Amino acid sequence: MDEQTPTALTQLPSWLLTQNAAHAHRIVTETFATGGARAYHFRLLATLVEFGPASQATLGRRSSIDRSDVVAALNELEADGYVERSADPADGRRNVITITTAGKRQYKKLATQIGKAQDEIFAPLSATDRTRLTTILGKLLAYHQQ
């Protein structure tokens, strides 16, 4: 840490969390950018891989992406052939998004990239520390999402 940062800040877990979040965001963004992708692409493809076809609204909720950002990212993924849109048979006003074979390949590529970003972000931590940190952050997120 910067020797000029006040101890009143460096002793606050919330301050440390926001500082680390900024670094993590930069590293993830730069990592995906080298492959011509964005974090939203990974989040949407991961959601489709795990849960299968879904409406745009459901994808947004499951991946924690704002509705307008979901549409823009899906437009990009569709233009690259990674997802397909089709009318929902139950409601013609709604689209169902399905991942393509090319999208599954892209997801695997992005999963490898995000793994490398995680290794860079958490390099000073042991595997045990990473697991413990993930558990703690998961607890915090679950608490604040209630």
Is 82 within the bounds of a domain? yes
Host domain of residue 23? 19-145
Query: In angstroms, what CA-CA distances link 91 with 3, 55, 62, 71, 87?
Result: 59, 10, 20, 18, 7
Q: Two tokens at 5?
A: 């940062």
Is 43 within the bounds of a domain? yes
Residue 130: predicted pLDDT: 97
Report whether pLDDT(1) > 70. no
Is 11 within the bounds of a domain? no
Report whether pLDDT(14) > 80. yes
Is 57 within the bounds of a domain? yes
Task: Specify whether the CB–CB gap between 132 and 140 falls below 8 A.
Answer: no
Residue 2: predicted pLDDT: 62
Is 99 within the bounds of a domain? yes
pLDDT digits (tens, 9 = 90+) for 78-136: 999 999 999 988 887 889 999 999 999 999 999 999 999 999 999 999 999 999 999 99
Q: What is the pLDDT averaged over residues 8-23? A: 96
Q: At what angle do helices 39-51 and 101-121 cross, to 10 degrees?
A: 120
Is 10 within the bounds of a domain? no
Domain CATH for 40: 1.10.10.10
pLDDT digits (tens, 9 = 90+) for 17-65: 999 999 999 999 999 999 899 999 999 999 999 999 999 999 999 999 9
Report whether pLDDT(76) > 90. yes
Is 140 within the bounds of a domain? yes
Task: Specify whether the CB–CB gap between 48 and 98 falls below 8 A.
Answer: yes
* Residue reference for tokens 């000073």: 124
The number of folded domains in the chain is 1
Is 73 within the bounds of a domain? yes
